[in-house]
Structure 1
Amino acid sequence: MNNMSKNGLILAAFAIVSTGLISITQLVTAPVIQQQQQQQLLNTLNATLDPQLYDNDLQHDCAKLAAPEWLGQTEEQIIFRARKQGQPVGVAIETTAPDGYNGSIDMLVSITEDNKVNGVRILKHNETPGLGDKIELRISDWILSFSGKKLEKGLEQQWAVKKDGGQFDQFTGATITPRAVVKAVKKSVQYYQQNQQQIFTAINQCEKPS
């Protein structure tokens, strides 16, 4: 066997061993990664919706519904449903502000049964560092200004940044980002107000694996 053939066999063997090691690593780490993701999800849910309000397994009780005019994208969004002794007490809605300064802003909006916002967190965004990224809690506490707010009939105009006559602060040099977030949170509340029955009667699409 010439050297070229030997080198080819060595490379082939190396490729097979490497592929096998990668596959084994993925099999070993996949459950760990999934567990970490589930824990991160639960932490975010509990940060926006008080765990004392519900007694069900929140992250495994959800509906997946498409409402692009309300929730910002054509794909289905996940709505986690909180219940107390079987009765609806609130939701955590994954929603999208499609009109951020640098693209879409994904967020989680939690709303209690009385249509009050319990909390909001940003899940993903591409806003400008030092300007639009103030929507992140680690950068500023602006996102906390939604907590406890209620969308009252006849007072919808308050759900805007102060520059537009509303109650929410805008950022110096970056009005587009907070304006987009306020609008998306408002629409999420309106969607919940109008679709509570559909949300809580929809089939569960986040059941815990057996």
Structure 2
Amino acid sequence: MTERDPVAPDAPEPKAKIRDWKSSPVVLGLMLGLFSLVSAVMLAVANDTTRGPIAARAAEDLLASLEQVLPAELHDNDPTADIRRIEDGEEGAVPVYVAARGGEVTGIAYELTGYGYSGAIRVLMALGTDGTILGVRVLSHTETPGLGDKIEVGKDDWILGFTGRSLADPQPDGWKVKRDGGVFDQFSGATITPRAVVGTIRRGLALFERHRPELVAPLPAHS
């Protein structure tokens, strides 16, 4: 009898080994970690790349808005450079853009946020040193197009009606929309939006009165 070689067990196929390797929890974890790392690096690079242009655009938009509410003839300084930060018990920290001529304050502007039908409404308002409104603009909102967006100066002149008003004009009870017993018009089919803007401007006037001395104090001499 001839000696027969023992029958070797079937060796696993290479493809099966690859499948087992790919499905290993350790390998899957490493692949997930690598993917997360690459994604984080890409996001960081994109953020660094766009941060400068975004900040520049925001500064341009702010300057354009300030020019609409702070008349150029009122100041010889750059209100975006002369900023006072006030701490208020109701509004929190508020940056204030100061307009001045010869170091004497002629007007101030700041932004407050109200909440309308669809979310936040950012309102920029400027006041003279006597507390009279120089101008108001809505910087951003998400209100319903065709209804709530009439708070934009490009859509309606409603926002211009606040110019020249003050905390005493109308009296406090008048700082509401007409539906609530005040003097300001609401929009047909949209009362919540103008109500929010009127209330925000009223808050801004009250903020000025609480901090009038520090807001109208002369600017420090520039070296």
Aligned length: 196
Structure 1 residues 53-132: aligned runs within 5 Å: 53-67=74-88, 69=90, 73=91, 75-98=92-115, 100-132=116-148
CA separation in 2, counterparts of 1:76 and 1:164?
30
* Native 8 Å contact 2:113 2:120 kept in 1: yes
Deviates more, 1:41-50 or 1:144-153: 144-153
Unmatched 5+ residue regions in structure 1? 1-15, 205-210
Q: Find 1:191's aligned residue among 193, 207, 211.
A: 207
CA separation in 1, counterparts of 2:141 and 2:87?
21
Matched, 1:134 2:121: no
* Native 8 Å contact 1:63 1:202 kept in 2: no
State the partner residue of 1:49: 70
* Native 8 Å contact 1:132 1:171 kept in 2: yes
Q: 1:66 to 1:124 in 2, by over 3 A?
A: farther
Aligned AA for 1:42?
L
The normalised TM-score by structure 1 is 0.75
Aligned AA for 2:163?
S
* Native 8 Å contact 1:63 1:203 kept in 2: no
Question: Can you list the C-alpha shifts for 1:138-165, whole angstroms capped at 9, x where unaligned?
Answer: 2222111111222327822232212223
State the partner residue of 1:3: none
What's the secondary structure of 1:41's corresponding residue?
helix
Question: Can you list the C-alpha shifts for 1:158-196, whole angstroms capped at 9, x where unaligned?
Answer: 322122232211011111211111111112112212312
What's the secondary structure of 1:90's corresponding residue?
strand
CA separation in 1, counterparts of 2:50 and 2:130?
42
CA separation in 1, counterparts of 2:154 and 2:136?
13
Q: 1:143 to 1:68 in 2, by over 3 A?
A: farther
* Native 8 Å contact 1:110 1:120 kept in 2: yes
Task: Give how far 1:84 is off.
Answer: 1.4
Q: CA-atom RMSD, angstroms?
A: 3.3
Aligned AA for 2:61?
Q
Aligned AA for 1:92?
A
Task: Give how far 1:104 is off.
Answer: 2.7
Aligned AA for 1:184?
T
CA separation in 1, counterparts of 2:84 and 2:162?
24
Question: Can you list the C-alpha shifts for 1:18-70, whole angstroms capped at 9, x where unaligned?
Answer: 9989877765654333322212111000111111111111001112334363x
CA separation in 2, counterparts of 1:121 and 1:96?
12
What's the secondary structure of 1:185's corresponding residue?
helix
State the partner residue of 2:54: 33
The normalised TM-score by structure 2 is 0.71
Unmatched 5+ residue regions in structure 2? 1-36
Question: Can you list the C-alpha shifts for 1:71-125, whole angstroms capped at 9, x where unaligned?
Answer: xx5x522211111111111111111124x22233211011111211111111222
Identical columns (%): 37
CA separation in 2, counterparts of 1:55 and 1:203?
12
